[in-house]
Amino acid sequence: INPQYFDMWWGTLGTIRPFPNFHPDRDAADIQAALERKDAAALVRILTNRSNAQRRAVAQSFQDETKQDLSGALKKVLSGELEELLLQLLMLPEQLEAQRLKAAMAGLGTDEETLLEILCSRSRKTLQEVAAVYRQMYNKDLEKELKAETSGDFARLVVALLNKAVTAGSVRRDVQALAASLSGKKAEAGPWINILTSRDSDHLDKVLMELELETGQTVGQLVEKRFSGDFRLGLRVLVQCIQNPEVYLAQRLLTMKTSLVQGIMVSHSEEDLLRIRAAFLRLSGSSLYSTLQKHFKGEQLLALQAVCRSED
């Protein structure tokens, strides 16, 4: 068995692990048979039980065997949200995030919260990969597209998040700068953008904790009181992602909106979905696995539960 299929996932907090007895050509043949039978359950079973690297190897075997692109073949047999979900499973993680960003900016009105979710919860390195893939997929510059969709302080925040640069700072000085930015008649956005997008998370945890001690209010309360509009939303999401990203993502899942549930679960399935599941249980009192049952059905439910993996 090729060791590359087992890269990096063991011991992570993902729910999808590499399939131990893996034979891409066998999977490709089984998928071909399932496509001929229009057997969606068999397609779901294979694709949700392989890691991303393994799914890509299967897609390659399928192409070598049939001279067809697997995504294209799935589109002919499936439709709607299940099709969307299985196509997402075949993408590289950074392709999926690029696609989600594109969708958030499509049409009238921008889905600011999806932009923020991805920009706030992903590392600089990941976002650089997403931006590179975005250019390949859409022949557009992600930063320019973000600027075109946003304005004012919110635009500055979004661009700073895309280009996160970690620079060292002093906790004390950062706390003073943030406190000072709130002291005038109108709160200043600048220090919040600069500090919150350019320090590592341990440093920011300390800064936010000290700021709360100093002001006697939670950072959430300060943000709600002193800022407004999209920029307030942006800071709210950013602060949540600094303090507790899995709780923020679990709150997003509570909406049970199909596109959100599928996007978040697939893109976090090999990294930290176990953490998000635990946070979901704490927030809602019921497991993600059984909550999915109330909102989805058929093969789509099978696929989502397979990505979720098990009851908590």
Report the SS3 class of residue 189: coil
Q: At what angle do helices 229-243 and 112-121 cross, to 10 degrees?
A: 30
Q: What is the mean pLDDT of residues 211-219?
A: 96
- Residue 312 pLDDT class (50, 70, 90 cuts): confident
Is the pLDDT score of 10 beyond 50?
A: no
Domain total of the chain: 4
Which tokens sit at 246? 């899995």
Q: What is the CATH number of the domain that holds 117?
A: 1.10.220.10
Which contacts qualify for 283-289: CB closer than 8 Å, 24 or more apart? 283/247, 283/250, 283/251, 283/254, 284/250, 284/254, 287/311, 287/312, 288/250, 288/253, 288/312
Question: Span 230-242, mean pLDDT?
Answer: 96
* Same domain flag for 101 and 66: no
* Amino acid symbol at 310: S
What value does the mean pLDDT of the chain take?
94
Q: What is the DSSP annotation of 64-89?
A: HHHSS-HHHHHHHH--HHHHHHHHHH
Residue 156 falls inside a structural domain: no
Residue at which a domain ends, from 243, 260, 285? 243
Do 230 and 260 lie in a common domain?
no
Model confidence over 279-309: pLDDT tens digits? 999 999 999 999 999 999 999 999 999 999 9
Q: In the 8-state DSSP scheme, what is residue 292?
A: H
The pLDDT tens digits for 37-94 are: 999 999 999 999 999 999 999 999 999 999 999 999 999 999 999 999 999 999 999 9
Domain boundary residue, one of 224, 243, 262: 243
Asked whether the CA dihedral 99, 105, 108, 112 is positive or negative, the reply is positive
Q: What share of the chain is helix, strand, coil (3-state, %, to 5)?
A: 70, 0, 30
Residues 232 and 185 in one domain: yes
Q: Give the pLDDT of residue 105.
A: 95
Examine the pLDDT at 109 and tell me if it is beyond 60. yes
128 shares its domain with 79: no
Q: What angle do CA 214, 219, 223 make, to 5 degrees?
A: 120
Domain end position, chosen among 201, 228, 243: 243
Confidence at residue 8, expressed as pLDDT on a 0 to 100 scale: 44
pLDDT at 108: 76
pLDDT at residue 239 is higher than 60: yes
Residue length of the chain: 312
Residue 175 belongs to a domain: yes
Question: Would you say 74 and 83 are in contact if contact means Cβ atoms under 8 Å apart?
Answer: yes
Question: What tens digit of pLDDT does each residue of 155-177 get?
Answer: 999 999 999 988 989 999 999 99
Domain shared by 213 and 254, yes or no? no
Q: What percent of the chain has pLDDT over 70?
A: 96
Is 15 within the bounds of a domain?
no
In Å, how far from its chain's centre is CA 226? 28
Residue 207 in domain: yes
pLDDT of the residue at 7:
44
Give domain status of residue 272, yes or no. Answer: yes
Domain that holds residue 257: 246-308
- Is residue 275 a part of any domain in this protein? yes
**Residue 254: which region, alpha, beta or left (left: phi > 0; alpha: psi -120 to 50)?**
alpha
Burial class (CB in 10 A: 0-12, 13-18, 19+), 186: exposed
Q: Do 236 and 259 fall into the same domain?
A: no
Statement to judge: residues 46 and 101 lie in one domain: no
pTM for this predicted structure: 0.92
> Does any domain span residue 261?
yes
Task: State whether 145 and 110 are in the same domain.
Answer: yes
Among 32-36, 108-112, 179-183, 262-266, the minimum mean pLDDT is found in 108-112
Q: Summarize pLDDT for 114-151 with one digit per residue, the tens.
A: 999 999 999 999 999 999 999 999 999 999 999 999 99
Residues 100 and 125 in one domain: yes
Q: Are residues 257 and 288 in the same domain?
A: yes
Q: Is residue 157 part of a domain?
A: no
Main-chain phi, psi angles of 91, to 5 degrees: -80, 155
Q: Average the pLDDT over 104-109 and give the result.
A: 87
